[in-house]
Chain A
Amino acid sequence: MTSNSFADLAVRAIIVLALLTIGLSSGLLAQESSNPDVATPADTPPPIPASGDDAIPAVSVPDDGTAVVRILAAQRFTLETPYASAWNAERSLVRSGTILVLEVEKKWLRPRQTRQPVLYAGDRPAEVMNCGHAAGRIVVIVPDPADGTARNLATTIFFFGTPMLAERATAERGRAELAEARAQGIGPLSEKRRVEPSASTLRLADQNALLREVGARIILHSPTERALGEGFLGTP
């Protein structure tokens, strides 16, 4: 990357953050999506159909604990309006959590249409928001458990589990995947491979606002996916 593109990137990031701070774009976007007929990301898919489907594979964790290299950034957030996650079979509600930027071995990020290993944060799939294959960096949302307690990054195991669709992963499945990961000796990231969450917590309106935070980080950490990041930011 040239120095010019770095500068350009930095300028764009500053502009984005400034916009987020003064809330201009959020107000405008909220107005655009106020039509009740306009589906928002909160319109999550229905539960998995019960029958007639192709088989979901048996638990088989391919990760040896080296896939997730380190946590580069961590930002706590809360939402005024929760959303139903598309990343597990129960469509559990997300009220709070942590935005993470992870450095990952690239081979785990090669996008596939067929089954890909699901990234777990503990016993629950993390919401992976970008491909990250080129940069080796992904921005993920790690929702808090239902009781609202924040996940402790020092004790949470990050691993790639059985290749399948995350939306088909049940809570029971998540527990089985975690057990298998532990059985393989995968443990939490060491202190030097992670950062602590930022001291402040972002208090956001809804999933759209959360995705704007994600978008800004995608632009910053995976510049080849700028279009994706800018889309999350919103371009009225």
Chain B
Amino acid sequence: MSRLVLCLSRGFARIVDSRERTSSPRRLLLPLGVALLAGLTLTPQHALAVDSSFRRGDTNSDGSVNLADAIGLLDYLFSGNAPTPPCVDALDANDSGALDLADPIGLLSFLFNAGDPPPAPFTDCGPDPTFDTIDCIGPIPSCPLLIAPEGEFAFVGFSILPSLEAFIIPQPAPVDLAEFAGRKFGMRPFVISLDPSILSGSVRVESTQSAVTFYASDGTPLPLPLEINVADLPSTVLVNIDAPGGATLTLTATASGASAELSVVSGPFDGLAGTSLTNPPYFRYSRAIPTIEPEVAVAVDPTRFGDRSGQTYRLYIVSHRTLDEWALDQSLVDVSGGFETQMVGGISIQEGIVSAWSAPLDGGPLVSLGYDVVLDFGQDGFLDPGDVIDGLGQTPAFSVVNPLTDPGPYPVMSVDYSAGGFLVQRSYYPTNMATLDPLPLVIISHGNGHLYTWYNYLGAHLASHGYVVMSHANNTMPGIESASSTTLSNTNYFLSAISTIAGGIFDGNVDVERIAWIGHSRGGEGVVRAYDRVADGTFTSTQFDLEDIRVVSSIAPTVFLGVASSDPHDVPYHLLAGSSDGDVTGGVDCQICQFFRIARRGTGPVQVTYIQGASHNDFNSDGFDDGVGPNRIGRFAAQRLAKGYLLALVETYLSDNPATIEYLERSPDEFPLSAVTANNTVATEFDPAVIAEQLVIDDFQESPNDPLLSSAGWSVQTNFDVTSEEVQRDLNSVLTHTVNDPRNGMTQSGNTAIESESGLYVEWPSSRTRFYEWLVPNSDADWRRFSTLSLRGCQITRHPYTDTWNAALGFTITLTDGTGQTASLSTIDYAPLTRPYQRNGLGTGFGWSNEFNSIRIALTDFQAASNLDLEDIQSLRFDFGGGFGTPLGRIGLDDVQLIR
């Protein structure tokens, strides 16, 4: 196990890292003793104390070793009145552990008689690699680096912050002792000790951040500031951080006033597992690994785990365990064919990538199977505090996900029943549901002229994965209010009569607090209206609460009632639509067809799946073919995509599957549902809920008259000739390109008073490059509390540049930190902006909706690309054209934000 040890020595504070180092067992004495006293399972090879950085032989600490040093050394040894130099260890020129005549003789021999050079550290600065009683108490001005040549964490002093931070994966603070038994494995142990010669006073421990909490080894919370009597030292504490960010821990010896500081940092942390990439950022962290991937890779980024540099660990992929399970059993059983032994090192993430598990990957019998990643620094085959574990708690480090388009493991049956009128239902269920935990409920509301029997493909698919799916008759002909009433009455009926319907087979087998509403066309608007009615209190039920409706999805919905009445509010909302729809076309000439408006209205998590080549009735079994446009994908392919994305949706919001949201959040280029869907063109859009953990850099709403000022109040600079912030609403209801309609093709915002969704519009010819740059004020420079840079973009349909390029589009995003270090990533590697569907009509030319694509880039990707300092970001810049991506284009951008 690895330990960071905080020591107070000789009245001065010292922070040392007690990690594995087999080459210097002599230095184990104090930390090992401390650890053993604390009752920890510390083995000798895991503890090491190191000194401050110095250069051996440089007795006057002037940065060089020469005759003056030898003279000074003789003077100190024999004059009797020379002051104690700042670093006595530097005088031990032969590293014998004692100061005597042999030191100046050896030094002079080296300088003038070709003798052996002084032992390390020499000529570079560094800590003393061997144990002795002579220490360097520093700081040494000529040795400013606190990183030893071996990359160790080595810091002595009481006024200098260490340049390396102890990284701790954030986790919730344990609420009780029982939870502590599992949570402790995610905490970082520290041993606080003091030079034994100091017999009085105490040590005070403080933190600059309340998110940092201390615990005794037995789980007792230790409130900060913590005061420890000298008599109780050495003392072991476990440090927990429950929110991303940094903190400084300060130790003060009350007797002398000396103090030591240590920085701890927690986040951003995207996990350890993912897939390796050829180009920057070289690694993609992910909570989901599709089985079609060739391997699971693990990245131990040395820039994040720098305080463990040089340490050896065993890499284990283990089946996910809960806190309780870890508390009971810490043995590590690798599932990937055996653990790998690795060392933390290097300077970039590329050097920290390990191929941990080669295909075939085991996704288990269900949708996915979770795994934890353990870096066993103790190398003992057991999880201990001080090891690194990703996946501690309910959420596994990653899940291997089976193809979401494949049927699930359960055989399915359906049953029809009716209470008359529009209380008519067909329900699909796993035949063995009585042996399973109560299953979430998915309710399907069909569209106008459709039948409740037309969704066998979806009902059977979801049921085979462990859902009860009820499809009901829907009174859509009168309109949307009527449809919403039918959704509500059928939901009520199912829940109220669950003990009797279909012979009572559902009684006790349905989780009635986990319900999804999925509606198609008029029914798609109807389910939103139904939610709106419950939300605004105009409909109440004793059968379900608003909170029981966990997610609402609309397939090609109408917008008859407008978004004031068909308002998803803050429920997780999903829109699925096709570009070939000949009915609810989404076109600029038909406001009640502009389904994107509903998505824009939602304030909860919003996800959009826009499938090129899919038509309206591709999403049911029997509707007539109304498709328009080229490259139609057909009913089978459209339904395959619908099955996959809707399974991801209900897994995410009804079953709390932490992996499947990746399919909704990220581009299908990154997360194809399965191998067979890779050729489909799908635009995915994800907007997080409006939550506090966001920093909206620019939503292009607040300052339409001043595009050089962002929503966050940041200054903007650009060399675009023309930029405009305008409402995302087409001006003339035709798609023919004209300079008088800069928003051509936009349907995100309707023509009602409450809709004013705006965005940025930019274009660049092939003749020169353009940029758009936000200058980050110092008050917002620390981006460590965020995980992701998110934005949305679309190509503008039928624009000459769009037509000329005629393909997916990308550009470059660059971050610059306070040192001038830059990190650039290409959006094409994340989410190419889809080429508009080549459908004609509504004027001249080809091209249809301006479907947005979400671009989500983990901030750690920028770090991985070039060791960027996320604590001090100075600018965010988009570059277009030239070598930065697509040579020419016109695009819309929106919602540039940082999210957690």
Interface set of A (CB-CB < 8 Å, partner B): 29, 32-33, 35, 37-41, 43-46, 48-49, 51-55, 86-87, 110-116, 125, 127-129, 131, 133, 165-168, 207-208, 211-212, 225, 227-228, 230-236
Q: Which residues of chain A have C-beta atoms less than 8 A from B493's C-beta?
A: 33, 38-39
How far does the Cβ of B506 sit from chain A's closest Cβ, in whole Å?
Answer: 15
Contact call A113/B481, Cβ cutoff below 8 A = no
* CB closest residue in chain B, given A116: B448
Selected contact of A37 from candidates B538, B541, B752, CB within 8 Å: B541
In the assembly, what is the distance between CA of A198 and CA of B641, in Å?
51
Q: Are A166 and B478 in contact (CB under 8 A)?
A: yes
A113 to B583, Cβ gap below 8 A? yes
Interface string of B397-440 (1 = CB under 8 A from A): 00000000000000000001111111110000000000000000
Can you add 10 more A-B contacts, CB < 8 Å, to A45-B481, A48-B561? A35-B497, A44-B482, A45-B478, A49-B564, A49-B565, A52-B752, A114-B584, A116-B448, A165-B479, A232-B424
Contact A32 B754, beta carbon cutoff 8 Å: no
Question: 0/1 per residue, B477-491, Cβ < 8 Å to A?
Answer: 111111011001100
Indicate if the CB atoms of A112 and B449 lie closer than 8 Å.
yes
- Distance A38 CA – B453 CA, assembled complex (angstroms): 22
Chain A residues whose C-beta falls within 8 Å of the C-beta of B481 in the assembled complex: 45-46, 48, 86, 167
Given contacts A53-B564, A86-B485, contact A114 B583 (CB under 8 A): yes
A113 touches B584 (CB 8 A): yes
Q: Distance (Å) between the CB of A169 and the closest chain B CB?
A: 9
Q: Are A236 and B592 closer than 8 Å at their CB atoms?
A: no
Whether A54 contacts B485 by the Cβ 8 Å rule is no
Report whether B482 and A167 are in contact in the complex, using a CB–CB cutoff of 8 Å: yes
When chains A and B are docked, how far (Å) is the Cα of A44 from the Cα of B533?
A: 13
- CB of B616 within 8 Å of the partner chain: yes
Q: Does B663 contact A (CB under 8 A)?
A: no
Interface 9-mer from B552-560, B716-724, B881-889: B552-560
Closest 3 pairs between A and B when the two form their complex, measured CB to CB: A111-B449, A52-B564, A231-B424
Minimum Cβ distance to chain B for residue A24 (Å): 13
Given A37-B492, A87-B478, A168-B479, A53-B565 contact (CB < 8 Å): yes
Do residues B420 and A54 form an inter-chain contact, with CB atoms below 8 A?
A: no
Contact of B500 among A32, A128, A131, A233 (CB under 8 A): A32
**Most chain A Cβ neighbours within 10 Å, of B420, B452, B538:** B420
Q: B482's closest neighbor in chain A, by CB?
A: A86
> In the complex, which residues 126-140 of chain B have their Cβ closer than 8 Å to any Cβ of chain A?
none
A33 touches B423 (CB 8 A): yes
What residue in chain A is nearest B541 (Cβ atoms)? A37
> Are the CB atoms of A53 and B484 closer together than 8 Å?
no
Are the C-beta atoms of A54 and B752 separated by less than 8 Å? yes
Q: Is B521's CB within 8 Å of the partner chain A?
A: yes
B473 at the binding interface (Cβ < 8 Å): yes
Instruction: Determine whether B202 belongs to the interface, using a CB cutoff of 8 Å to chain A.
Output: no
Q: Which of B418, B422, B558 contacts A113 (CB 8 A)?
A: B558
The answer to whether B421 and A211 have CB atoms under 8 Å apart is: yes
The docked-state distance in angstroms from the alpha carbon of A35 to that of B37 is 69
- The one of B423, B522, B562, B623 in contact with A52, judged by C-beta atoms closer than 8 angstroms, is B562
Inter-chain CA distance A127–B477, complex, in Å, is 9
**Which residues from A are CB-within-8-Å of B623?**
111
Contact with A along B746-769 (1 / 0, CB 8 A): 000010111000000000000000
Chain B interface residue count, CB cutoff 8 Å, equals 63
B542 at the interface (CB under 8 A from A): yes
Q: Is the interface of A mostly helix, strand, loop or mixed?
A: loop
Task: Report Cα–Cα, A131/B488, bound state, in Å.
Answer: 22
Interfacial chain A residues near B541, Cβ < 8 Å: 37
Contact B477 A52 (CB under 8 A): no
The reply to whether the CB of B462 lies closer than 8 angstroms to some CB of chain A is no
Q: A38-B497, A41-B421, A236-B417 are in contact. Are A231 and B480 (CB under 8 A)?
A: no
In angstroms, Cα B543 to Cα A43, docked, is: 15
| Cα A54 to Cα B477 with chains together (Å) | 18
What's the Cα separation between A41 and B496 when bound, in Å?
Answer: 16
Interface pair A29/B451, CB less than 8 Å apart:
no
From B520, which residue of chain A is reached at the shortest CB distance?
A113
Complex contacts, B478 vs chain A, CB 8 Å: 45, 86-87, 125, 127, 165-167
Q: How far is the CB of A19 from chain B (nearest CB, A)?
A: 12
- Distance of B113 from chain A, by nearest CB (Å): 94
Within the assembled complex, what's the spacing in Å between the Cα atoms of A146 and B883? 74
Q: Does B450 contact A (CB under 8 A)?
A: yes
B591 at the interface (CB under 8 A from A): yes
* Mask: chain B, 4-21; 1 = CB below 8 Å from A; 0 = not: 000000000000000000
| B418→A166 contact, CB < 8 A | no
Is B266 at the interface (CB under 8 A from chain A)? no
- Say if the beta carbon of B590 comes within 8 Å of chain A: yes
Q: Is the CB of A231 within 8 A of B542?
A: no
Interfacial chain B residues near A128, Cβ < 8 Å: 477
A-B contact pairs, 10 of them (CB 8 A): A29-B419, A32-B497, A45-B484, A86-B478, A87-B478, A113-B448, A113-B583, A115-B592, A233-B418, A236-B418
| Complex Cα gap A32–B494 (Å) | 11
Q: A236 — which chain B residues lie within 8 A by C-beta?
A: 417-419
**Which residue in B416, B450, B479, B521 is a CB contact (below 8 Å) of A235?**
B416
CB-CB < 8 A to A167: which residues of B?
478-482
Q: Determine if A113 and B752 form an interchain contact, defined as CB atoms under 8 angstroms apart.
A: no
Task: Indicate if the CB atoms of B452 and A49 lie closer than 8 Å.
Answer: no
B residues near A110, Cβ cutoff 8 Å? 624
Residues of B within 8 A of A41 (CB): 421-423, 475, 489
Contacts of A212 in B (CB 8 A): 420
B592 touching A52, Cβ below 8 Å: no
Query: B752 to chain A: which residues have CB within 8 Å?
Result: 52-54
In Å, the complex CA distance between A128 and B538 comes to: 27
